């Protein structure tokens, strides 16, 4: 004969402690799967108020489990990965960036003037220009002169400004391009993230600099590997309507693909 253990209903304190813990686990699992999440997405997922979500994000950030961003949060590993030095970024996704660079180079015509921003994918693109002739390059990317094919690029113009050693770029005043009277056939730009809202970077000054490049170019080609899909970084560069072509290594996810189609952006998937 067995005697049942006495059963005590959970106290209000136990329930209050358990429910947030379960909610936090769901939030972190969703964030880990997606890499980032907006407050609106978390409200729908967790069926709680926006204030509750914001309090949860503050708490979890304080525990070092995520990083809050404008309108939501990102995983810590994603933030670190997208804001590293140029040397480290050159060692990431090397084969994808090489293929992207080669595919983007095939879109360039002889005798064009190109304006190029910083970034590791841009370096792979520059190195792939050997099949073109008589190109003029305007850039703030100080890694490029060493990798640009001499026979293809007789003229390189380096934009002035403060030197950022971690990124190997120069950053001048906002609006530099228009003030200098620069006009380019094509802007080829890298970015930290590309989403339905556009392309973005982690640094505001660099984003403004890249936006200036896009403004003075007749067309814009964005080079970005699939790790940038769905990422919305701190500083916006441009909306998708300002882009003519995206060169990448994998088909974009459905929501981004739909946004690119609505903006009439040509998507070139290499490899």
The domain that holds 262 is classified in CATH as 3.40.50.1360
* Together in a domain, 43 and 177: no
- Residue 5 falls inside a structural domain: no
Predicted pLDDT at 179:
54
Predicted pLDDT at 175:
52
Average pLDDT value over all residues in the chain = 84
* Together in a domain, 113 and 52: no
Residue 82 has pLDDT above 50, yes or no: no
Predicted pLDDT at 7:
44
* Together in a domain, 128 and 231: yes
Q: Which residue, among 237, 232, 235, 223, has the nearest Cα to 193 in the 3D structure?
A: 232
Among 81, 108, 134, the domain boundary falls at 81
Predicted pLDDT at 172:
76
Place of tokens 């136990």: 14
- Token pair belonging to 264: 């009439």
* Together in a domain, 159 and 25: no
What is the strand order of the sheet 193-195 is part of?
A: 193-195, 198-201, 235-238
Among 41, 58, 81, the domain boundary falls at 81
* Together in a domain, 23 and 156: no
Query: Are 149 and 195 contacting, i.e. CB atoms less than 8 angstroms apart?
Result: no
* Together in a domain, 100 and 179: yes
Q: Based on the structure, what is the number of domains in the chain? A: 2
Dump pLDDT digits (tens) for 180-236: 678 999 999 999 999 999 999 988 888 989 999 999 999 999 999 998 999 888 889
CA atoms within 13 A of residue 271's CA, in its CB half-sphere: 15
Q: Mapping DSSP to helix (H, G, I), strand (E, B) and coil, where does residue 36 land?
A: strand
Predicted pLDDT at 180:
64
- Token pair belonging to 151: 């026979």
Dump pLDDT digits (tens) for 41-73: 899 999 999 999 999 998 888 887 887 876 778
Q: Mapping DSSP to helix (H, G, I), strand (E, B) and coil, where does residue 63 land?
A: coil
* Together in a domain, 99 and 39: no
Query: Are 143 and 86 contacting, i.e. CB atoms less than 8 angstroms apart?
Result: yes
- Residue 216 falls inside a structural domain: yes
Predicted pLDDT at 60:
87
Show the domain range for 59: 12-81
- Residue 203 falls inside a structural domain: yes
Cα separation, 184 vs 177, whole angstroms: 10
Q: Which residue, among 181, 216, 168, 220, has the nearest Cα to 198 in the 3D structure?
A: 220
Predicted pLDDT at 30:
87
Dump pLDDT digits (tens) for 136-164: 999 999 999 999 999 999 999 998 888 87
Pick the range with the lowest mean pLDDT from 23-27, 166-170, 194-198.
166-170
Predicted pLDDT at 177:
55
Predicted pLDDT at 106:
97
Q: How many CB atoms lie within 10 A of CB 239?
A: 13
Listed in sequence order, the DSSP H helices in the chain are 12-34, 39-46, 50-62, 76-82, 86-90, 94-105, 120-127, 176-180, 204-215, 254-262
- Whole-model pTM? 0.68
């Amino acid at each position: 004969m067995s005697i049942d253990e006495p059963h005590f209903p959970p106290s209000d304190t136990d329930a209050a402690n358990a429910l947030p813990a379960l909610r936090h686990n769901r939030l972190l699992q969703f964030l880990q799967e997606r890499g980032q999440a907006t407050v609106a997405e978390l409200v729908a997922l967790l069926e709680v108020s926006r204030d509750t979500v914001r309090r949860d994000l503050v708490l979890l950030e304080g525990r070092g489990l995520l990083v809050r961003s404008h309108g939501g949060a990102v995983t810590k590993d994603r933030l670190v990965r997208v804001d590293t030095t140029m040397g480290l970024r050159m060692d990431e996704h090397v084969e994808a960036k090489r293929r992207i660079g080669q595919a983007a180079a095939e879109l360039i015509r002889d005798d064009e003037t190109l304006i190029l921003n910083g970034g590791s994918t841009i370096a792979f693109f520059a190195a792939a220009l050997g099949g073109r002739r008589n190109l003029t390059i305007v850039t703030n990317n100080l890694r490029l002169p060493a990798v640009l094919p001499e026979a293809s690029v007789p003229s390189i113009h380096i934009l002035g400004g403060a030197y950022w050693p971690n990124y190997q770029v120069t950053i001048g005043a906002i609006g530099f391009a228009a003030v200098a009277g620069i006009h380019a056939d094509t802007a080829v730009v890298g970015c930290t993230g590309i989403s339905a809202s556009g392309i973005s970077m982690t640094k505001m000054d660099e984003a403004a600099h890249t936006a200036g490049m896009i403004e003075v170019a007749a067309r814009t080609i964005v080079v970005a590997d699939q790790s940038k899909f769905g990422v919305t970084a701190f500083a916006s560069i441009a909306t998708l309507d300002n882009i003519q072509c995206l060169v990448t290594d994998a088909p974009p996810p459905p929501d981004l693909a739909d946004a690119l189609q609505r903006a009439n952006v040509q998507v070139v998937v290499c490899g």
